[in-house]
Amino acid sequence: MKIKVQARRLCREFNVKNDRGGKDTLSVLDSFDLDILEGEFFSILGPSGCGKSTFLNILAGLDDFDRGEILVDQEPLKKRSFDRGMVFQSYALLPWRTVLENLEVGLEIRNINRRGRREIARHYLEMVGLSNFANQYPHQLSGGMRQRVAIARVLAYRPNLLLMDEPFAALDAQTRELMQIELLRIWEADKKTIIFVTHSIDEAILLSDRVAIMTARTGRIKEIIDIDIPRPRTEEIRGSIDFARIRQNAWGLLKEEVQKVNALLPGGLMTA
């Protein structure tokens, strides 16, 4: 199978101010190695602050890295590419455009004519249950609705590499489950590569071919778990023995890392 994304010994450091008015170097990713296959649904789990968004931002061309290399389709990562799409951790909509016009942004880039754009935008808006809000502006929507618009926008754009940073975190529990199943349906129809960051182990297992667990900062891949549950998948698999077995394994690996982070917090939430 073809490799879509290769990260080799990737390092990212930030300069941050310290209490003494000087600067410290914060090492976020270090010797980060990862291969993601073409057409794969790949999820990343890891404690808060371990570098998940940093990695996605680098892949999206929004941030630089300091050392190492990233190849996309066997070529060095390009800063600009129309082949990638990103859903951000917090919805990034254009406030001066209506909901429908926001959905059309990517379609304009693809040079789709006005009628075609409207048709596609309406289709995806209906899919996320927001047909009645086509002519509203983002500030007139709730947080969860805005995030659904951001998701619909990137799905309408149909990028070859879809980067999703906790896309469902702002949704209510019921909408989140519906969106998970909808995303699975869309992905199964055209099998574009998806890299999906989440804090939900269940969500990662339900959706993914493989799930990577990251270490606490400095972030590295700790382990990759194969999700050998047959597709197409439905919500029912949550009750299966296989699901429980994988969840237990994933939580065991993740818990160690979360505890490391909490041990560093003032007054430590957990004592390891």
Verify binding: residue 54, ligand ATP, rule CB under 6 A: yes
Given the rule CB under 6 A, which of 50-58, 71-79, 113-121, 254-262 is the region that contacts ligand ATP? Answer: 50-58
Q: Which of 5, 7, 45, 50 lies at the binding interface for ligand ATP (CB under 6 A)?
A: 50
Verify binding: residue 54, Mg ion, rule CB under 5 A: no
Contact 209, 42 (CB under 8 A): yes
Question: What is the footprint of ligand ATP within residues 29-48 (CB under 6 A)?
Answer: 46, 48
Q: Which of 4, 30, 34, 53 lies at the binding interface for ligand ATP (CB under 6 A)?
A: 53
Question: What is the footprint of ligand ATP within residues 60-89 (CB under 6 A)?
Answer: 89
Contact 47, 28 (CB under 8 A): no
Verify binding: residue 53, Mg ion, rule CB under 5 A: yes
> Considering the complex, what minimum distance in angstroms separates the CB of residue 62 from ligand ATP?
10
Q: How many CB atoms lie within 10 A of CB 45?
A: 28
Given the rule CB under 6 A, which of 52-60, 202-210, 236-244, 251-259 is the region that contacts ligand ATP? Answer: 52-60
Q: How many CB atoms lie within 10 A of CB 110?
A: 13
> Considering the complex, what minimum distance in angstroms separates the CB of residue 46 from ligand ATP?
6
Verify binding: residue 200, ligand ATP, rule CB under 6 A: no
Cα dihedral sign, 125-231-194-116: negative
> Whole-angstrom Cα distance, residue 246 to residue 29?
26
Given the rule CB under 5 A, which of 18-26, 53-61, 78-86, 119-127 is the region that contacts Mg ion? Answer: 53-61
One-letter identity of residue 245: R
Size of the site for ligand ATP (CB under 6 A): 14
One-letter identity of residue 214: M
> Whole-angstrom Cα distance, residue 41 to residue 85?
15
- Sheet strand arrangement including 193-197: 84-87, 161-165, 193-197, 41-45, 210-214, 221-226
Nearest residue (beta carbon) to Mg ion: 53
> Whole-angstrom Cα distance, residue 154 to residue 185?
15
Q: Which C-beta is closer to Mg ion: that of 138 or that of 219?
A: 219
> Considering the complex, what minimum distance in angstroms separates the CB of residue 195 from Mg ion?
13
Q: Assign residue 74 a region: left if phi > 0, alpha if psi is -120 to 50, beta otherwise?
A: left
Task: Report the interface residues with Mg ion, using CB under 5 A.
Answer: 53
Task: Report the interface residues with ligand ATP, using CB under 6 A.
Answer: 14, 16, 26, 28, 46, 48-54, 89, 217
